Structure formats: C-alpha cells, structure tokens
C-alpha cells in the first residue's frame, strides 16, 4: 500500500517551529494537530505562488539528505533560488514573484503508478492552499524506465503540474545542480509562455532559403540565458495574478494571435500589385527530426492593388489541422506551425521574411489587431 507523508513548516517570530505530520497506513495514532500559520502578507507588487511538492521517499532517505527535516529545509531553499533567479531575469516584470513550498508530500512506490498519477493530476485539489504542483522523482526504482528531464502539463480543474525526473542509473541532485533554473523554465509554462527554443532553425534544416533563425535570449530558450525575453515578460504581465490561467483565460495562448497578418510590398518606393508571396511553415522538432522549415508551400497568393498580401484570422493558419487545411504534413508536432517563412518574388528578385509565432503575437500586447511586415524591392 502506498504511504504518503505531508510535512509542514512555519516560522513564527524569531523562533522556528517545525511540525511534522505523518499519516501512515501502519499507524493507529492520531496525527499531531498543526498550528495555523500566520497569514501570508504579500508585499506591494508581489505575487506569491504556493507549491504542492511531491518527492520520492527513496531519495529523501538516500542522496537528498536522509531525513524529512533536512529535505524540507533544502526544498525551501531550492524554491527561494527559483524566486531569486526568476526576479533577476527582468526589470520589466510588473510584479515580484515568490514561489513557496506550501506542503511537502513524501511518497512511496513508483511515480508512474496509476493511482498515484490520478492523485497528482485528477483527484480534487484545494486551490485555496495550492496554486501549482511540482513532482520530483529523483531516483529511478520500482521498475521505472524512462528518459530523465523535466516537463509541464495540465490536469483536472485547470491545474498545472511540473515533473522533474532523474536520468537512468543515478540519483538526481536537485539541491546542488541547476534544478532551480529548470524549475523557472517549467514554471514559465505555468505562467503562459511557450518554449522559445522551438523557433530556432539551423540553415541545414531550411531547404527554402538556407538561412538560420535565432531568437532573443530567454530562460524559455535556454535556462543558461538567465533573462526573460520581452515576449515572455509580456505573457507573464498579462497572466499575472491568475493562479490557474485556464480559469481566468480559457484560451490564453490562442487569444494572443492578431486578427490578420499583413505583408506590404513596395517596388522602387511604390506599392506593387501582383507580387508573388509563398508561405512555408516552421515545425517544432520531433523524434528523428530537427526543427525545420517544411519544404512544401503552405499558402500562396499575390499582392492586391495596395501592394498587400493579407492572411485574415491569423490563428487558423498557425493551427492548420484544426481548421481544415489539408496540405500539411502528418508529422506536425502539437498540430501547429511555430512560425512562417515568407518568400516574396518580384520579377527575378526574391526576399525572405521570418514570421515566428511569438513575434506575430506581439501586437496583442500593444492593443493592436494586425501584424505588419514591410518588404521593399
């Protein structure tokens, strides 16, 4: 039978009072009542996010410290490091962020166990106490075989769950490695930001223009960048105090797309009708394939009398499979294009324009409904 222990710590005044509440299937004793903590008072301009943490017992008793008390103290420090790393990432955030461990639950058995997964992802959760869940499996045991790493996903009631897992054959040292940076990245998803590294394209993976494409430094690109990009800051400022974004913004990411994409073409300073525009899609990476530009034209047309080529309802073009487009590859991760490469042809001349998804969404934060590109021959 699975056993879990819920451990709570609160500091009162200058005296640190540590209270352990262990609920075990092999004990008949009543749990020791925990004193009610003083209310958390957020500083002006500060947002607190309360984390429900799960960590495997084998790691708690082993390489993470040997006792619940040690692990709890180290876990508090880990999330303070997340907080500090997060806030140093930009001076344009509207709020200071604070991630705190609301409860630490030590679990036995495999984190892959169906009953345990249901508890983490689907059983009722008290959103009055917890804003986000983080699950650590720092040692592969109990017959577990999986690739280590970290990820973010959702569960019932619009909850967010971050998982951090050890690589095969060794325990993960979450308190001494760069896990705090990894957590910042995954919690960035919780705050509504997509993976920025998925927009990177190497020249060898672009059969259309043979150009590479990079994105600005961002923790959502590589954690080693140590900064939040303007796009990431905009997303987080928008979601701000929404502890479960899906409840406040039912369609957060899709709502960021503009109503239209407008490519304006001039030749010798004048708007040019009839210029050919071909749009190619950018794909996220997949098993056995790098991020790339798909070599077949997705949509094409010609500029109108005003020298404009317009895509109305931009969102549907980024989500082609859900909107009836048939000329898309079966291998399209997440069912969406991560951006477009436009090929503009005027006579014997060609120009190329990158339109990554995140950049196309930027006008939303300025209250505009059109993403504009100007191309001059």
Q: What is the pLDDT of residues 88-99, one digit of tens each?
A: 999 999 999 999
Q: What is the mean pLDDT of the chain?
A: 89
Give domain status of residue 214, yes or no: no
24 pLDDT band, cuts 50/70/90, is very low
Give the mean model confidence (pLDDT) for residues 4-12.
Answer: 40
Give the mean model confidence (pLDDT) for residues 134-138.
Answer: 96
Q: Give the integer Cα–Cα distance in Å for 72 and 22.
A: 14
- pLDDT greater than 60 at residue 23: no
The residues, any chain, with a CB within 8 Å of residue 336's CB and separated by 6 or more, are: 318, 319, 320, 321, 357
Q: Two tokens at 117?
A: 């997964």
The residues, any chain, with a CB within 8 Å of residue 269's CB and separated by 6 or more, are: 376
What pLDDT sits at residue 16? 33
Total tally of structural domains belonging to the chain: 2
In the chain, % of residues over pLDDT 70? 88
- pLDDT greater than 90 at residue 328: yes
Give domain status of residue 238, yes or no: no
CATH number for the domain spanning 56: value is 3.40.390
Query: 3-class secondary structure for 297-326?
Result: CCEEEECCCCCEEEEECHHHHHCCHHHCCC
Q: Two tokens at 154?
A: 């959702």
Q: Give the integer Cα–Cα distance in Å for 353 and 376.
A: 11
Q: Give the integer Cα–Cα distance in Å for 205 and 184.
A: 29
pLDDT digits (tens, 9 = 90+) for 148-157: 899 999 999 9
Residues 276 and 164 in one domain: no
Residue matched to tokens 């040292």: 173
Give domain status of residue 357, yes or no: yes
What pLDDT sits at residue 19? 28
Residues 273 and 149 in one domain: no
Give domain status of residue 25, yes or no: yes
Give the mean model confidence (pLDDT) for residues 284-293.
Answer: 94
Give domain status of residue 219, yes or no: no
The per-type count for the chain, helices as H runs and strands as E runs, is: 8, 16
Give the mean model confidence (pLDDT) for residues 258-282.
Answer: 97
Give the mean model confidence (pLDDT) for residues 216-225.
Answer: 98
pTM across the whole model? 0.86
Residues 184 and 291 in one domain: no
Which of 190, 216, 232 is where one domain is finished? 190
Q: How many CA atoms lie within 13 A of 38 on its CB side?
A: 8
In the chain, % of residues over pLDDT 90? 82
Q: Give the integer Cα–Cα distance in Å for 113 and 89.
A: 37
Q: Give the integer Cα–Cα distance in Å for 162 and 153.
A: 7
Asked if 352 contacts 265 with a C-beta cutoff of 8 angstroms, the reply is: no
CATH number for the domain spanning 365: value is 2.60.40.10
Give domain status of residue 39, yes or no: yes
What is the span of the domain harbouring residue 92? 4-190
Which of 152, 171, 190 is where one domain is finished? 190
Give domain status of residue 200, yes or no: no
- pLDDT greater than 80 at residue 159: yes
Give the mean model confidence (pLDDT) for residues 161-177.
Answer: 94
140 vs 103 pLDDT, higher one: 103
- pLDDT greater than 70 at residue 341: yes
Give the mean model confidence (pLDDT) for residues 233-247.
Answer: 94
Three-class DSSP category at 139: coil
Q: What is the DSSP string of 324-343?
A: T--SS-S--GGGS-SEEEEE
Residues 175 and 319 in one domain: no
Closest by Cα among 171, 14, 83, 141 to 75: 83
The residues, any chain, with a CB within 8 Å of residue 13's CB and separated by 6 or more, are: none
The residues, any chain, with a CB within 8 Å of residue 302's CB and separated by 6 or more, are: 273, 274, 275, 276, 277, 309
Which of 190, 209, 241 is where one domain is finished? 190
Q: Could you tell me where the DSSP H helices lie in 88-217? A: 114-121, 179-190
Q: Give the integer Cα–Cα distance in Å for 35 and 126.
A: 18
Residues 176 and 286 in one domain: no
- pLDDT greater than 90 at residue 143: no
- pLDDT greater than 80 at residue 76: yes
31 pLDDT band, cuts 50/70/90, is very low
Q: What is the DSSP string of 208-260?
A: TT---B-----TTT-GGG-S--HHHHHHHHHHTT-SSHHHH-TTTTGGGS-SE
């Amino acid at each position: 039978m699975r056993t879990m222990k819920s451990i709570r710590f609160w500091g009162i005044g200058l005296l640190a009072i540590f209270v352990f509440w262990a609920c075990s299937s092999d004990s008949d004793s009543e749990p020791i009542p925990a004193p009610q903590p003083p209310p958390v008072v957020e500083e002006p301009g500060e947002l607190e996010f309360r984390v429900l943490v799960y960590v495997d017992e084998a790691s708690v008793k082993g390489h993470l410290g040997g006792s619940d008390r040690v692990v709890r103290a180290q876990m508090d420090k880990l999330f303070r490091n997340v907080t500090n790393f997060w806030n140093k990432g930009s001076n344009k955030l509207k709020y200071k962020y604070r991630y705190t461990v609301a409860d630490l639950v030590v679990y036995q058995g495999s984190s892959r166990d169906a009953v345990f997964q249901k508890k983490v992802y689907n059983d009722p959760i008290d959103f009055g106490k917890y804003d986000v869940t983080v699950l650590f499996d720092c040692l592969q045991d109990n017959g577990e075989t999986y690739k280590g790493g970290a990820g973010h996903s959702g569960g019932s009631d619009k909850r967010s769950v971050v998982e951090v897992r050890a690589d095969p054959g060794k325990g993960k040292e979450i308190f001494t490695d760069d896990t705090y940076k990894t957590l910042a990245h995954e919690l960035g998803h919780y705050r509504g930001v997509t993976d920025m590294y998925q927009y990177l394209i190497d020249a060898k993976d672009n059969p259309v223009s043979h150009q590479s494409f990079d994105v600005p430094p961002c923790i959502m690109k590589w954690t080693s960048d140590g900064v939040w990009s303007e796009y990431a800051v905009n997303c987080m400022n928008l979601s701000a105090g929404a502890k479960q974004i899906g409840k406040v913004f039912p369609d957060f990411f899709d709502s960021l797309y503009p109503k239209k994409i407008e490519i304006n073409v001039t030749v010798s300073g004048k708007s040019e009708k009839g210029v050919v525009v071909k749009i190619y899609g950018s794909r996220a990476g997949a098993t056995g394939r790098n991020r790339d530009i798909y070599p077949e034209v997705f949509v094409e047309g010609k500029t109108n009398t005003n020298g404009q080529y317009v895509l109305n309802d931009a969102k549907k073009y980024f989500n082609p499979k859900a909107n009836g487009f048939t000329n898309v590859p079966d291998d399209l991760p997440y069912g969406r294009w991560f951006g477009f490469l436009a090929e503009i042809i005027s006579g014997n001349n060609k120009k190329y324009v990158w339109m990554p998804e995140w950049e196309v969404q930027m006008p939303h934060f300025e209250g505009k409904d059109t993403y504009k590109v100007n191309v001059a021959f």
